[in-house]
C-alpha cells in the first residue's frame, strides 16, 4: 500500500493534525502500459499524504501485477462492469477525507495532488473539484489531438462554478460522495456520463463544485474513427441527451453553450441544403453563408487549434467538428422524440388507470 500517513483509530478518514488525507482511486480494465505510466506519475506526487487504491474491473492482462509493483491496495470488482461500479468499490475501501479519481489512461503532474488539496483547504464548503486534459495529448494522430484538445478547450472556457463533474481527474469529499449515493453503477455499465450524472446530483443538492482550470493532466488514449464515433454517440451523446431531458435541463456551459447549439442548427441546415443545391444552384450561396457562420460561431476554438497545431490541423478540424455537431444533434433529436413518445404513453396509461 502506498500510504504515507496511516489513519488514526479515532478518525474515520485520516485528517491528522489538520492534514488532509487523500484516497487516490484508479479504476482499471486491461490498463497495460498506460496504467504503468499513470501509477508512476502518482508516485512522483509532491504531496505525500495519500493512499493509492487500484480497482481491477475484471482485467485479463497484467494490470494487477503492475498495480502491486507500485504498492497499491488492490480492490477487485467483478467485471467488466463499468468505471462507476469500480470507483464505488474503491471508495468503499477508502480511508481518506477526499477521494481523488484518476483514470488509468491519465497521467497527473507532480503538483496535481497538492493543487487538489489546496482547493479544498481554501474553501470549506467545496464539495468537489475537477480539471481538464492538458493541451499536449499523448496520441499523435489527428483524431487523438482533435478530441483531447477540444476537451481541453471546452473546460478552459467553462464556468468555474460548475454544475457537473469529471472523474478523469476530479476529487470529491468522501462524506458528500456517500451522501449523494456515489456513481449510478446500475444505469451506466460502460464508460459513459456516470461522472456528469453524479455532478448533476451533487449540484442539485446544493453543494458547490469547482472547475479548476489549472488542474490539468495528460491523456494517453489513442482515438480511432470507429471508437470515437461509438463512444461519442452511444456512451456520450445519447445518455447525456437523456439526462438533459429527464433531470438537468439545458445549461449554458461546457458543451451546451448557446453558440454550440446554434452551430448544431447551422450544420443541420447545411446538410439539408447541400444536396438541393445541385437542383437549385442558387442554394450554394446559402450553404456558403452558413459555412461562414459556422466558422464565425466557432472562431475561438479554431483560433485555439491554429495557435496550437497550425493551419493544416484547422483544415482537418473544420469538417470533423461539423460532423461532431451533426451526430450530436441527430442523437439529441432522436432522444427528444423518444422522450415525447414515452411521456405520452405514460400519461395515457395514467389516464386509463384513473378512468378505471
> Which of 80, 24, 32 is closest to 53 using CA atoms?
24
Confidence check: pLDDT of 24 > 50: yes
Cα dihedral 223, 225, 228, 232, rounded to 10, equals: 160
146-156 pLDDT, tens digit each: 999 999 999 99
Q: What confidence score (pLDDT) does residue 8 get?
A: 33
205-240 pLDDT, tens digit each: 999 999 999 999 999 999 999 999 999 999 988 998
* Beta-bridge mates of residue 291: none
Q: What confidence score (pLDDT) does residue 15 get?
A: 44
Q: How far apart are CA 307 and CA 299, in angstroms?
A: 12
Q: How far apart are CA 295 and CA 170, in angstroms?
A: 32
* Beta-bridge mates of residue 210: 129, 161
Q: Centre a 10 Å sphere on the Cβ of residue 29 and count the other Cβ atoms it contains.
A: 22
* Phi, psi dihedrals of residue 239, rounded to the nearest 5°: -65, -30
164-221 pLDDT, tens digit each: 999 999 999 999 999 999 999 999 998 999 999 999 999 999 999 999 999 999 999 9
Contact 183, 87 (CB under 8 A): yes
Which residues touch 53 (CB under 8 Å, ≥6 apart)?
Answer: 23, 24, 25, 26, 72, 73, 75, 90, 93, 94
Confidence check: pLDDT of 1 > 90: no
Per-residue pLDDT, averaged over 9-33, amounts to: 75
Please tell me the chain's helix, strand, coil percentages from 3-state DSSP, rounded to the nearest 5.
55, 15, 30
Q: What confidence score (pLDDT) does residue 255 get?
A: 55
Q: What confidence score (pLDDT) does residue 7 get?
A: 36
pLDDT: which is higher, 104 or 355: 104
Q: What confidence score (pLDDT) does residue 102 get?
A: 98
SS3 57: coil
Cα dihedral 260, 102, 193, 244, rounded to 10, equals: -60
Domains of the chain are 22-228 (3.90.550.10), 258-355 (no CATH)
Q: What confidence score (pLDDT) does residue 9 get?
A: 32
Confidence check: pLDDT of 84 > 60: yes
Q: How far apart are CA 351 and CA 356, in angstroms?
A: 9
Angle at the Cα of 99 (from 196 to 97), degrees rounded to 5? 135
Q: How far apart are CA 119 and CA 207, in angstroms?
A: 15
Angle 142-157/299-309 helices, nearest 10 degrees? 130
Q: What confidence score (pLDDT) does residue 316 get?
A: 97
Per-residue pLDDT, averaged over 257-262, amounts to: 83
pTM above 0.85, yes or no: yes
Confidence check: pLDDT of 10 > 70: no
Q: What confidence score (pLDDT) does residue 13 get?
A: 42
Q: How far apart are CA 335 and CA 351, in angstroms?
A: 24
Amino acid at each position: 500500500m502506498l500510504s504515507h500517513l496511516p489513519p488514526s483509530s479515532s478518525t474515520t478518514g485520516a485528517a491528522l493534525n489538520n492534514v488532509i488525507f487523500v484516497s487516490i482511486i484508479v479504476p482499471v480494465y486491461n490498463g497495460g502500459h498506460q496504467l504503468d505510466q499513470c501509477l508512476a506519475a502518482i508516485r512522483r506526487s509532491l504531496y505525500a499524504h495519500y493512499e493509492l487504491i487500484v480497482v481491477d474491473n475484471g482485467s485479463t492482462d497484467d494490470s494487477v501485477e503492475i498495480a502491486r509493483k507500485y504498492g497499491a491496495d488492490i480492490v477487485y470488482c467483478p467485471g467488466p462492469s463499468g468505471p462507476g461500479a469500480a470507483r464505488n468499490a474503491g471508495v468503499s475501501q477508502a480511508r481518506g477525507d477526499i477521494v481523488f479519481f484518476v483514470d488509468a489512461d491519465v497521467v497527473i503532474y507532480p503538483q496535481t495532488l497538492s493543487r487538489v488539496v489546496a482547493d479544498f483547504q481554501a474553501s470549506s464548503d467545496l464539495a468537489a473539484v475537477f480539471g481538464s486534459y492538458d493541451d499536449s495529448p499523448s496520441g499523435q494522430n489527428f483524431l487523438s489531438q482533435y478530441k483531447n484538445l477540444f476537451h481541453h478547450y471546452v473546460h478552459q472556457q467553462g464556468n468555474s462554478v460548475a454544475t457537473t463533474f469529471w472523474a478523469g481527474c476530479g476529487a470529491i469529499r468522501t462524506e458528500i460522495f456517500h451522501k449523494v449515493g456515489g456513481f449510478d453503477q446500475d444505469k451506466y455499465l460502460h464508460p459513459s456520463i456516470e461522472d456528469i450524472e453524479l455532478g448533476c446530483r451533487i449540484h442539485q443538492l446544493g453543494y458547490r463544485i469547482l472547475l479548476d482550470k489549472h488542474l490539468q493532466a495528460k491523456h494517453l488514449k489513442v482515438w480511432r474513427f470507429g471508437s470515437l464515433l461509438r463512444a461519442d454517440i452511444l456512451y456520450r451523446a445519447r445518455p447525456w441527451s437523456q439526462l438533459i431531458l429527464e433531470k438537468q435541463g439545458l445549461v449554458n456551459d461546457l458543451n451546451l453553450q448557446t453558440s454550440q447549439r446554434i452551430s448544431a442548427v447551422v450544420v443541420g441546415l447545411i446538410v439539408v441544403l447541400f444536396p438541393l443545391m445541385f437542383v437549385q444552384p442558387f442554394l450554394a450561396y446559402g450553404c456558403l453563408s452558413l459555412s461562414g457562420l459556422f466558422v464565425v460561431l466557432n472562431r475561438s476554438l479554431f483560433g485555439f487549434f491554429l495557435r496550437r497545431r497550425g493551419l493544416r490541423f484547422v483544415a482537418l478540424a473544420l469538417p470533423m467538428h461539423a460532423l461532431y455537431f451533426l451526430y450530436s444533434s441527430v442523437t439529441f433529436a432522436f432522444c427528444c422524440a423518444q422522450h415525447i413518445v414515452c411521456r405520452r404513453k405514460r400519461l395515457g396509461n395514467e389516464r386509463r388507470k384513473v378512468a378505471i
